Structure 1
């Protein structure tokens, strides 16, 4: 009876230790989840801010390039008109330019 009691006690200690270990891991995971979410949110906000800076720079560059295209278009139209006034036929514009002149895009 003494041996079976010792075996029962030993197995009880083992099960208790295992459950304590498992409970500690579960508690740590539960406690770490809000911290992980906060870290994920901070990383997301930083990425979002970086992307917003890039988007703003691209918008400004697009505005600048549109303005340049409009200016160049007017300048080329003026040069083309001057050439025709002097009897010089300018070369045909590239397909992409002709498309832009037709569609504005």
Structure 2
């Protein structure tokens, strides 16, 4: 076990020192696909958080993903624009909200 930790550090050190970045983010990949099929439109996304079990997207946006505090993995999207965390006593809820807008 003592050997594995230094070996892991030695293997990962070059990537950490050079500031390795992934070729593209998920957002970039999705935006590329959208721009390929919808020439005059672009995908506009925002991240919203609220200190409750509900998180509402701004007007005109729809919820595309949710995240919950307190290690809660159970959530649903209500009315296409509200993230709802299903666990009791939620301390925060986050929503990824997106819309299509003209370029």
Larger proportion of strand? 2
Same structural fold, with TM-score higher than 0.5 when normalized by the shorter chain: no
TM-score scaled by structure 2?
0.25
Larger proportion of helix? 1
TM-score scaled by structure 1?
0.25
